[in-house]
Amino acid sequence: MSVKVKLNISEVAKLLRSSEVEEEVHKQAKRIQGRLGDRYKTDTKMMPSRVIASVYSEDPEAIRDNFNHNTLLKAVHQ
What one-character DSSP code corresponds to residue 62?
Answer: H
pLDDT digits (tens, 9 = 90+) for 18-72: 999 999 999 999 999 999 999 999 999 999 999 999 999 999 999 999 999 999 9
pLDDT tier at 9, thresholds 50, 70, 90: very high
pLDDT tier at 1, thresholds 50, 70, 90: confident
Rounded to an integer, what distance in angstroms lies between the CA atom of residue 7 and that of residue 11? 8
Question: Taking the model in full, what pTM does it have?
Answer: 0.83
Residues 6 or more apart whose Cβ sits within 8 Å of residue 36: 55, 57, 62, 71, 72, 75
pLDDT exceeds cutoff 90 at 75: yes
Rounded to an integer, what distance in angstroms lies between the CA atom of residue 28 and that of residue 52? 11
Nearest C-alpha neighbor of 76 from the set 34, 39, 16: 34
The SS3 call for residue 51 is: strand
H-run or E-run covering 53: strand 51-56
| Domains of the chain by start residue, with CATH | 9-76 (3.30.310)
